[in-house]
Amino acid sequence: MVWRLLQQVRLLDPVNRQDQRADVLLAADQLVAIAPQEVPPDTEVIDASAWVLAPPLVDLYSHSGQPGYEARETLETLLAAAAAGGVQHLTLLPTTNPVIDHPAVWQALQQEIPTTAWSQVRVWGALTQGCQGTALTDLAELAASGVVGFCDDRGLTHWPLVQRALTYVQPLGKPVALWPFDPALAANGVARQSGVATRLGLVEQLVCCETIPLLAILELARTVSTSIHLMRLSTARSVEILAKDKPEQVSASVSWLHLLFTVEDLASYDPHLRLDPPLGTASDRQALIEGLKTGAIEAIAIDHTPLLYEEKMVSFAEALPGAIGLELALPALWQELVVNNTLSALDLWHALSTAPARILSIEPPRLELNSRHFVLFDPNVTWTVTHQSLRSRARNTPFWQHSLRGQLVPFSPSINSGRTH
């Protein structure tokens, strides 16, 4: 048994809003004691004053390549990436092949999840058959199979169908995740409406592509008690709308890259920054951050979207939208937001752990004794994003072959879980 005493490590408890320092005793990869009175002989004493010990992260929605798109990502590499990023609770979108629109698909997927995985997998069941937005799935049957809620991962603007779905889900006690996005209004837009997009010669996507369906969803929310989660908010106008009048049962999230980049960064035409929704203006980014501070937006989603090289290495407008992030979100957000005093460490951890758990109706992670479920994070270590350093099979990230600062400590309990290379 290897014993380690972490001296004066920074403890984050976002549930109780506590940020303090204490000595912590580890036995191998288990948390044994906080402020221990005694330590075993031969305990390794480590100056951990630069490290952070906190509950694991919870991701609201991400994509799995398996089943159907294993060339992009397998469950094995997906779970290895989640573990390396400190994500214990991973929630998958139903847009696999086949779509998770029947309990049998979810049951078959469960059989493929390694029993030794540090991360736990949950899924959103499809709201409509085949995620096509035309006919509802058997919602009660899916709910009974253990899905966390219902989502189509697309913009739904068939409002009678949405209203019917919200009504039918109401007695099931499950949330419905909706992406406020109107594909007809969006047309072929790949950049947020702005002078920058015009200058770069990129087809613009209007702000109202998001705000019109957002307003419709909020009005429908007033007719039911169903929990509704708004995915991928990306504009200042959306934050303004939510800040003024958000129904109690409605929550919202922003994808992590929208807190780091803006339409100005598209000057590089990097296809890894081709996202849906597209990156916003500097004002949009600032409003999203303020929304997290005020509670208009509760959570940050990683929205991990693995894609093949040939699906990204084309012209910006032709590239499939999306980027990976399970291993990258925490260090990038910490450096950009916490180090720069834009968000407190507790606020960031709340948005990445506590708030997503509450939205999913699971117990928010806490630091518990005799548990392997904690994150030990070194904000100061520098590493380069390469094939050797990533666990994910996919490489579609704007950080590819760039340096990041911040990574899990090598003996964190999740760090060796599911290593694939």
In DSSP terms, 128 is beta-bridged to: 136
Omega before residue 171 within 30° of 0, cis: no
What contacts 84, CB < 8 A, 6 or more positions away? 326, 327, 391, 408, 414, 415
- Selecting among 284, 303, 347, 378, the annotated active-site residue is 303
Q: Which of 402, 405, 403, 397 is nearest to 270 (CA)?
A: 397
The Cα–Cα gap between 181 and 177 comes to: 12
Whether the Cβ atoms of residue 5 and residue 23 lie closer than 8 Å to each other: yes
Which is it for strands 18-27 and 30-34: parallel, antiparallel or unpaired?
antiparallel
Whether the Cβ atoms of residue 19 and residue 12 lie closer than 8 Å to each other: yes
Verify whether residue 303 is a known catalytic residue. Answer: yes
Helix residue ranges, H only, 222-354: 236-244, 282-294, 309-312, 329-333, 345-349
Query: Quick one: tokens of 341?
Result: 């005093």
Q: Which of 160, 123, 155 is nearest to 142 (CA)?
A: 123
H/E run at residue 404: strand 403-408
Query: Tokens 């390694």 sit at which residue?
Result: 114
Q: Which of 265, 184, 194, 192 is nearest to 232 (CA)?
A: 192
Whether the Cβ atoms of residue 395 and residue 73 lie closer than 8 Å to each other: no
Q: Which of 237, 249, 189 is nearest to 213 (CA)?
A: 237
Which of the residues are catalytic?
303
